[in-house]
Amino acid sequence: MKELLKAIPPGERDGRIAAQLDPKCLPAHVAIIMDGNGRWARQRNYPRLLGHKAGIASVKTITEACAQLGLEALTLYAFSVENWKRPRHEVEGLWRLLRYYLRRELPNLMRNEIQLVAIGRLELLPTPVQAELQYAAEKTAKNRGMRLNLAINYGGRTEILDAVNAIIENARAEGNLDVLEINEEAISSHLYTAGLKDPDLLIRTSGEMRVSNFLLWQIAYAELYVTDTLWPDFTRTQLLEALLDYQNRERRFGGLSRNALPSVDGASLLLEEEEALELPLV
């Protein structure tokens, strides 16, 4: 948090928003569905790829701000398993942009101590893209700051399938298949995000109310924040506003709100509820 305040020039609005945040209640992990690059381009009569190129500037700004805030992890949805359905020209352009981003941003990732990891079915990516991702991951592996997950050729369902198949494969290799019982902990520890906390906050830009096969297991209790802002227009200000909104939420994880908890003792509460239900307790 201190790093972020240092980076904001005095008198800027972002400084005033950041000052309202409680540094002790920041999300540990933020996940973002970066949507709206195409619409941003269409509004300007630009080709779609220019929208994606403009999206890279937001990736840089938001990643840097999250690292300066001291978040543990940021996961960005860059390419889904479904995105192969787009025209070949757009898909190939996205690979070119990703390689350009990785080369250009490596010094900034190092300066901000960010550890970059690509998650998804990476073996299906073009070889030069795999090589560039591996190079950036190796170079940043020892960084001790925020973990940046780039979800590429990623699908929430395929991730769960990969986890379950890996568990089965391990059990088979160890000769334990006949007694195998899969629990939640086993699945979590075989996901691409193993070892990381689940996202506390899922942001989606450009207004669609969907989760689009993103981190399906991990977002079970995430707070959702959807903004109409298109991804290339999503700035540090919008990020800070999303965090403020998050801090005003009450997270109950399936329990009760503090206001809804009984103030009377359990026995009289049971009686009261029985009367209200007009049903005998069995």
Just list the catalytic residues. 35, 83
Q: Which is nearer to ligand FPP, 12 or 82 (CB)?
A: 82
Q: Which is nearer to ligand FPP, 17 or 129 (CB)?
A: 129
- The residue nearest ligand FPP at its CB is 38
Residue count at the site for ligand FPP (CB under 6 A)?
Answer: 19
233-252 residues in contact with ligand FPP (CB under 6 A) are: none
Asked if residue 39 binds ligand FPP (CB under 6 A), the reply is: yes
Q: Name the residue with tokens 């090589």.
A: 131
Nearest distance in Å: CB 152, ligand FPP: 8
Asked if residue 52 binds ligand FPP (CB under 6 A), the reply is: yes
Nearest distance in Å: CB 167, ligand FPP: 30
Site string for ligand FPP, 194-223 (x = CB under 6 A): ------------x-----------------
Out of 21, 26, 31, 35, the residue judged to bind ligand FPP by CB under 6 A: 35
- The Cα 167–Cα 182 span in angstroms is 8
Q: Which is nearer to ligand FPP, 68 or 153 (CB)?
A: 153
Out of 21, 26, 49, 56, the residue judged to bind ligand FPP by CB under 6 A: 56
Q: Which is nearer to ligand FPP, 21 or 214 (CB)?
A: 214
Out of 27, 36, 156, 199, the residue judged to bind ligand FPP by CB under 6 A: 36
Out of 29, 32, 69, 101, the residue judged to bind ligand FPP by CB under 6 A: 101
Asked if residue 148 binds ligand FPP (CB under 6 A), the reply is: no
- The Cα 131–Cα 104 span in angstroms is 15
Q: Which is nearer to ligand FPP, 36 or 145 (CB)?
A: 36
Q: What is the DSSP string of the chain?
A: -HHHHHHSPTT-HHHHHHHTS-GGG--SEEEEE---HHHHHHHTT--HHHHHHHHHHHHHHHHHHHHHHT-SEEEEEEEETTGGGS-HHHHHHHHHHHHHHHHHHHHHHHHTTPEEEEES-GGGS-HHHHHHHHHHHHHHTT--S-EEEEEEEE-HHHHHHHHHHHHHHHHHHTT-GGG----HHHHHTTSTTTTSPPPSEEEE-SS----TTSSTTTTTTPEEEE-SS-GGG--HHHHHHHHHHHHTS---TTS--GGGS-SS-HHHHHHHHHHHHTS---
Asked if residue 114 binds ligand FPP (CB under 6 A), the reply is: no
| Torsion sign across C-alpha atoms 167, 168, 169, 173 | positive
Query: Other CB atoms closer than 10 Å to residue 162's CB: what's the count?
Result: 16
Out of 21, 30, 34, 240, the residue judged to bind ligand FPP by CB under 6 A: 34
Nearest distance in Å: CB 231, ligand FPP: 6
Identify which range of 29-37, 123-131, 169-177, 241-249 contacts ligand FPP by CB under 6 A: 29-37
